[in-house]
A and B are shown apart, each in its own frame.
Chain A
Amino acid sequence: MTRAIREHSKLVSGLLTIGWLAIACQGSFAQMPASWVLPTYPTTAPIEGKVTVADRYSYREQRYDPPVKVDHRVPKELQRDDTPEMAMIGRVSAMMNQDYEWWLSTWDQEAQRLTADNDRAMGRTAAYWLQWWDDMFRSGTVALVRRIETRQYVVLTYRLVAPSGEDVGGGMELPVVFRKVESRWLATLDLREDVLVPASPWVSGRTTIEEAVR
């Protein structure tokens, strides 16, 4: 397994942690732990109950048919970002061209700041990303699989595929979230704490997940 795929695995496992944890936790609320502290005065017998907060998300799903392989790069001077798809092609081209500054410019301002902060905290430089992309595109290229709209965001999902179309990314389907800033579609980390994208119901087929908070 190449380093790029390993990195993808780490990214996906991180993204999906909330979703899987939630699924794994379901049912655990049925049995509360025994009381560890008791009232001083007489009471009625204890009644166990639960309060449920149901968060609802709507989204519109389309599949690219056939999947769109991004196997040739758009020259930087011809890049467009008037649709999420074109912005994605520009983003992938920046990665294929090993152009860190171009890639950074495909994020919105807040995501650029978060990426810089995160890189600083992790001791990463541009060289880290360049190496990652080099590994990634040696094993395959990006194929757009799905387009998800959820309110003002568009999530494009992709897989890593060989020139033959065969999956070389361990079967994983990764999301990139875009939002429109003035007339430009830019990648964003706005949904980094959101449940919908890590849960990726368009991949899992689930319509509900249950989470025991306590």
Chain B
Amino acid sequence: MARTAKLPEGKSWARGWPEIFPRVWVSATLGVAVLASHVAIAAGAESFEWPSFNTTLPEEKQFAVNRHYGYRLRAYDPPVAIKYMERKPESYMGPEEVLAGLVSAKRAMDYEWWLSLWDASSRDLIAERDRQGGGSRGVRLKAWGAQREAGAATLMRWVETGQYVVLTYRYGAANGNAGEPPVTFKLSGDGWVATLDLVRDPVIHYLVTGQQRIEQVIR
């Protein structure tokens, strides 16, 4: 491979050495350097000969890391109308029951019930958002009020990914244009709970957008 002169070559921004100086500047620089070294020796300072850094020509290269997130998806067939609970039950048997609890709490406009169905770290995150948003709780309650008008909630998809189960549901007709929000659940020491663990997860991104490949330029 062809060799360059001393670093740097090409259009690299991380230049270590002056590129090209007019000869007059080279002569002047050398003169000053020689004078400086004489002064340094006279003053008793040590000297040091910096090595040359000859390199091969720069090669532009690419590297990719493909991270894969597996999932197993089932569509409810037919879609299942979620049965509203009249009151907060003692326990929840599975993710579908916790989701029924969430939509029931929303329908009842019971914020504390709704909050109790999330795991501890998600509750902290929700509280933090509420503090930062300065009224997120009020915004949620207002949205829940609107959802009551939108009709029954319907279970649409069951998705497993790692230790999580993600359920999607929608308000109104199963074939309507309404969105199909995903909610993630996990089994904790206290049984099934909703969680925000996957709030920025690629599988959630896929369920919302249908996009199975996400390209990111890191550098």
Interface residues, chain A, with chain B CB atoms under 8 Å away? 22, 29, 32, 35, 37, 39-66, 68-70, 72, 74-75, 77-78, 80, 82-86, 89, 144, 147, 149-151, 154, 180, 194-196, 199, 201-202, 206-214
Number of A-B residue pairs at CB separation under 8 A? 224
Q: Is there contact, CB below 8 Å, between B56 and A63? A: yes
The answer to whether A212 and B65 touch across the interface, beta carbons within 8 angstroms, is no
Chain B residues 18 to 58 lying within 8 A of chain A, measured CB to CB, are 45-48, 50-58
Partner of B70, one of A49, A59, A210: A49
Interface string of B150-165 (1 = CB under 8 A from A): 0000010010111001
30 residue pairs A–B, Cβ–Cβ below 8 Å:
A32-B70, A41-B155, A43-B76, A43-B77, A46-B73, A47-B72, A51-B68, A51-B69, A51-B213, A52-B213, A53-B69, A57-B219, A60-B61, A61-B58, A62-B56, A62-B58, A63-B56, A65-B3, A68-B52, A72-B48, A74-B48, A77-B45, A83-B16, A84-B16, A149-B14, A154-B14, A196-B219, A207-B63, A210-B66, A213-B69
Closest to B217 in A: A56
Of B48, B66, B161, B214, which one neighbours A78 at CB under 8 angstroms? B48
Question: Is B62's CB under 8 angstroms from A58's CB?
Answer: yes
Give B157 Cβ to nearest chain A Cβ, in Å.
8
Determine which residue in A43, A47, A194 has the highest number of CB atoms from chain B within 10 A of its CB, and name it.
Answer: A43
Residues of A within 8 Å of B155, CB to CB, are 41
- Top 6 nearest A-B pairs by Cβ distance? A83-B16, A214-B162, A43-B74, A62-B55, A151-B219, A51-B202
Q: Which residues of B contact A149 (CB under 8 A)?
A: 12-14, 58
Taking the closest CB of chain B, its distance from the CB of A188, in whole angstroms, is 14
B67: chain A residues within 8 A (beta carbon): 52-55, 211, 213
Q: Is B70 a contact of A86 with CB atoms below 8 Å?
A: no
- B68/A52 in contact, CB under 8 A: yes
CA distance A60 to B65 in the complex (A): 17
CB of B63 within 8 A of CB of A59, answer: yes
Contacts of A48 in B (CB 8 A): 70-73
- Which residue of chain B has its CB nearest to the CB of A59? B61
Question: B7 near A83 (CB under 8 angstroms)?
Answer: yes
CB pair B65 A22 closer than 8 Å: yes
**Pair B71/A37 contact, Cβ less than 8 Å:** no
The contact of B214 among A29, A35, A53, by CB within 8 Å, is A53
Q: Which residues of B contact A55 (CB under 8 A)?
A: 64-67, 216, 218
- From A49, A82, A84, A196, give the contact of B71 (CB < 8 A): A49
| Inter-chain contacts of B74 with A (CB < 8 A) | 39, 43-47
Of B17, B73, B78, most buried by chain A (CB within 10 Å of CB) is B73
Our pick among A39, A66, A147 for the contact of B7 (Cβ within 8 Å) is A147
Cα separation A32 to B164 with both chains bound (whole Å): 13
5 further interface pairs, Cβ-Cβ under 8 Å (given A47-B72, A57-B65): A46-B74, A56-B62, A56-B64, A65-B55, A70-B51
Q: Does B190 contact A (CB under 8 A)?
A: no
